[in-house]
Amino acid sequence: MVHAEIQPRILVIDDELGVLKSLRFLMIEYNYDVYTAQTISKGLSIFSDSKPNVVILDLKLRGESGIEGLKKIRELDKTIPVILLTGYGSLETAQEAIRYGANEYLSKPFIPNDLMHLIDQYISRNNQNQPNIDSFKKLKLINNELADEVEQSKYMAELGQLSAEYAHDLSNPLTSTIGCVEFLKKIIIESEAELGNKFNKAEEYINIISRNTKRCYDLSKRWLDYSKRNIFERYPLEIKEVLEDIINEIHIKNRVSLLKDHNIEIISSSEPNIILGDKLQLFRAIFNLVLNAVQALSKKDGTITISCKRIKRQVEIRIVDNGCGIHPKYLHRIFDLYYTSKTSHEFKGTGLGLPITKKIVKEHNGTISVLSELGKGTEFKINLPLYCSED
């Protein structure tokens, strides 16, 4: 394929039609693309659209000042060569023109070859400098990106420090709460005769409070440990145990109407699905996805399917719902920190759940992906490496 050579572009701004026509004819002979304008405003419009290589500007236009035009050009581009033409030359106007950024100053009448020689010089100089200009622009862009990343890193470091402090402070009231729950549990057991039929129900709810409070305590402790070591504890883990904990939690939430009128289906293969992981963290990751699925079920008789199976040397976990789905234009942003598409009063999001899930999956050397169709539902898929004792 033959690529056409890009011709240099010249913009001429002069209110004399005869000058415009003669310069246009001359420059076409030199194989230049020529744009002409008889007013400053028209010239600036062409300048913005055509991005010329050189501007030729008359100093005296009807009702307009070429110096003012020069100032406006310099506001748009500080480096483009500008050649001023005038039939009323003086030392003062020449000095003023140079002061405001003119590269050359020619008095009318001028010798055409002198003008063309100047234009050739500036175009040749621009061609030599263009690689440096492009490199400078790229370096400036990279520098801005690095500056943004540094600011983000500083922010995340400060946020991490605050999180560690909050985790530390949170552990104190949680410890006290756990102690009170255990004491209350002991009182209820001692009052079994008085409670009668209500004993089993009371004990069940106390166990729920105890279990969830303990989970909060473990989370705060784990986060504090993570802020110090930057790692999670990993050990051989049957992923079905995580799903069983999630199922139990779902049943609890079902009693408080979160899942009322909806169905949860669990599909798990009979073969072992053992990974090297942290049970608490994986619970958080998968449970976030289940909660998202629940919140997407706007219609009655909604269904969520949680499946787990082995695929070669991986464990694949799928969470599928037939809810409202995610709009395609938002799909690429759902894992962004603090981004949320949930704006309803009932389920207002924080933009943390999915980023947390993705982070935990990544720390387990896994991957997460999503498929969604608006009005039909969403599928999240997590793949985690299978643990082998000989590895």
Greater model confidence, 316 or 258: 316
Contact 252, 215 (CB under 8 A): no
Q: Which two tokens stand for residue 312?
A: 């070669």
Half-sphere exposure at residue 6, Cβ-oriented, CA atoms within 13 angstroms: 9
Please say if the pLDDT value at position 109 is more than 60. Answer: yes
- Mean of the pLDDT values across residues 67-89? 82
Greater model confidence, 103 or 128: 103
Element (H, E) at 330: helix 328-331
The whole-angstrom separation of Cα 28 and Cα 209 is: 86
Residue reference for tokens 């498929």: 371
Q: Which two tokens stand for residue 379?
A: 């599928």
Greater model confidence, 90 or 74: 74
- Mean of the pLDDT values across residues 311-335? 89
Which band of pLDDT confidence, cut at 50, 70 and 90, is reported for residue 361? very high
- Mean of the pLDDT values across residues 276-298? 86
102-111, 176-185, 310-319, 331-340 — which one is most confidently predicted on average? 310-319
pLDDT at residue number 235: 87
- Mean of the pLDDT values across residues 83-108? 74
Provide the mean pLDDT of the chain.
Answer: 77
- Mean of the pLDDT values across residues 273-297? 87
pLDDT above 90 covers a percentage of the chain that reads 11
The whole-angstrom separation of Cα 220 and Cα 176 is: 14
Which band of pLDDT confidence, cut at 50, 70 and 90, is reported for residue 286? very high
- Residue type present at position 67: I
| Angle (CA) 52 56 57, round 5° | 120
Which band of pLDDT confidence, cut at 50, 70 and 90, is reported for residue 267? confident
pLDDT at residue number 379: 95
pLDDT above 70 covers a percentage of the chain that reads 71
Alpha carbon of residue 143 to chain centroid: 18
pLDDT at residue number 90: 59
pLDDT at residue number 255: 47
Q: Which two tokens stand for residue 177?
A: 């709460």
- Residue type present at position 192: E
365 closest CA partner among 326, 309, 313, 320: 313
- Mean of the pLDDT values across residues 42-65? 84
Radius of gyration of the chain (CA): 36
